[in-house]
């Protein structure tokens, strides 16, 4: 079983080799807080570390070449995180493409391109978080001729076998996901197939994969978001519940964020959910179960949730959907009936 994981990718930006760059691998070893930190990358790891270092007291500049951080999430979700970062003193620079690193009289400078202009950022320490690549070298893969995919992960079939049926791969080295829980999920299938494949083999199931980014606000997702639904031309309805309305969130001084649910038009079947807010990664579990086991928003609405808990947000999001689908004709009849009863 090959489970060698991934390593940080260092982009070939001129001068980066002189920067003594921190990565998601070695950042844990530093013992002194950098005064001015540049974080290259607006993905989940870059964003989590940006906020962590800012909260430790470093002056952090986060540099992202795309129009927003957490680019996989819907724009308003990214905007919530970006607004919080900025409120906490982080300088978030989007549409800034790192072009060159310079050492000028011992001073470190990053030159970025922004709207056709060069922007110079002086800093003390660089943290590079622009992605991680599968660790496929140094242990004989090439000698065995085990093929890699375009994404440079080990090519595996749906039973997690490499080109050699007795060699399995799982986790970051196999992809397509880079999460601990998907690595564990694959490891289970690979182990069962490796041990009992002679009798029965099981196809790994990627149908419902959730994830979370542990920023504040925390962002969790399962299935489609609105951006992806539009890109793929998938019809959807959207129901949004604002967590600022939720009693427990108010009591916890955490009254911010949303539960955003995409459903099949006219049906309660869930296509995807994004939650931003405290404990989003915990809250989403109910929707993950719903998607995995095929129950919809009506069932979530019909489930008693403890008052006052954050989990009630899920039920209220289902309530938003229900309200939008209330049978208006029947409600009018009932209104007339009640008026008649009152006399």
Identify which range of 34-42, 53-61, 172-180, 220-228 contacts ligand FAD by CB under 6 A.
172-180
Owner of token pair 């993905």: 43
- Identify the residue among 12, 106, 138, 266 touching ligand FAD (CB under 6 A): 138
Q: Got the DSSP string for 254-296?
A: ----EEEEEE-TTS--EEEEEEESTTHHHHTHHHHHHHHHT--
Smallest gap from Cβ 257 to ligand FAD, in A, equals 18
Identify which range of 1-9, 147-155, 240-248, 252-260 contacts ligand FAD by CB under 6 A.
1-9
- Identify the residue among 55, 67, 83, 139 touching ligand FAD (CB under 6 A): 139
Closest residue (Cβ) to ligand FAD?
171
Are the beta carbons of 320 and 253 closer than 8 angstroms? Answer: no
Determine if 3 is a binding residue for ligand FAD (CB under 6 A): yes
CA dist., res. 241 & res. 212, Å (int)? 19
Smallest gap from Cβ 271 to ligand FAD, in A, equals 22
Residues 200-259 interacting with ligand FAD (rule: CB under 6 A): 214
Residues 40-59 interacting with ligand FAD (rule: CB under 6 A): 45
Smallest gap from Cβ 177 to ligand FAD, in A, equals 7
Whole-angstrom distance between the N-terminal and C-terminal Cα of the chain?
Answer: 77
CA dist., res. 191 & res. 77, Å (int)? 38
Task: Please state, in angstroms and as integers, the Cα–Cα distance from residue 276 to each residue in 44, 59, 67, 281, 335, following that order.
Answer: 14, 25, 20, 9, 37
Identify which range of 65-73, 75-83, 145-153, 171-179 contacts ligand FAD by CB under 6 A.
171-179
Residue length of the chain: 343
Two structure tokens written together for 163: 């080109």
Its sign, for the CA torsion 94, 80, 281, 295, is negative
- Site size with ligand FAD, rule: CB under 6 A: 17
CA dist., res. 261 & res. 237, Å (int)? 8
Q: List residues binding ligand FAD (CB under 6 A).
A: 3-5, 24, 45, 135, 138-139, 171-173, 178-181, 183, 214
């Amino acid at each position: 079983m090959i489970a060698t994981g991934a390593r940080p990718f260092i982009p070939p930006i001129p001068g980066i080799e002189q920067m003594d760059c921190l990565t998601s691998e070695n950042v844990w070893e530093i013992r002194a807080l950098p005064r001015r930190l540049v974080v290259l990358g607006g993905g989940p790891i870059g964003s989590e570390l940006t906020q962590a270092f800012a909260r430790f007291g470093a002056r952090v500049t986060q540099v992202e070449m795309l129009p927003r951080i957490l680019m996989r999430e819907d724009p308003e979700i990214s905007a919530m995180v970006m607004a919080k970062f900025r409120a906490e003193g982080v300088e978030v620079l989007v549409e800034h493409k790192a072009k060159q690193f310079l050492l000028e009289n011992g001073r470190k400078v990053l030159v970025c391109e922004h709207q056709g202009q060069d922007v110079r950022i002086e800093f003390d320490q660089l943290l590079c978080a622009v992605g991680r690549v599968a660790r496929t070298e140094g242990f004989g893969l090439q000698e065995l001729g085990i093929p890699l995919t375009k994404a440079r992960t080990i090519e595996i079939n749906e039973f997690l076998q490499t080109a050699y049926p007795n060699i399995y791969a799982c986790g970051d080295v196999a992809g397509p996901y880079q999460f601990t829980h998907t690595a564990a999920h694959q490891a289970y299938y690979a182990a069962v197939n490796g041990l009992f494949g002679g009798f029965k083999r099981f196809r790994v199931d990627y149908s419902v994969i959730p994830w979370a980014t542990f920023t504040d606000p925390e962002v969790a997702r399962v299935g489609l978001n609105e951006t992806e639904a539009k890109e793929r031309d998938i019809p959807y309805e959207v129901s949004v519940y604002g967590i600022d309305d939720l009693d427990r969130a108010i009591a916890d001084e955490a009254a911010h964020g949303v539960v955003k649910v995409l459903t099949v038009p006219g049906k309660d079947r869930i296509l995807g959910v994004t939650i931003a807010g405290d404990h989003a990664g915990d809250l989403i579990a109910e929707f993950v179960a719903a998607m995995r086991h095929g129950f919809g928003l009506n069932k979530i609405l019909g489930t008693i949730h403890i008052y006052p808990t954050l989990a009630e947000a899920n039920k209220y999001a289902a309530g938003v959907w229900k309200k939008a689908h209330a049978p208006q004709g029947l409600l009018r009849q009932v209104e007339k009936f009640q008026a008649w009863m009152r006399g």
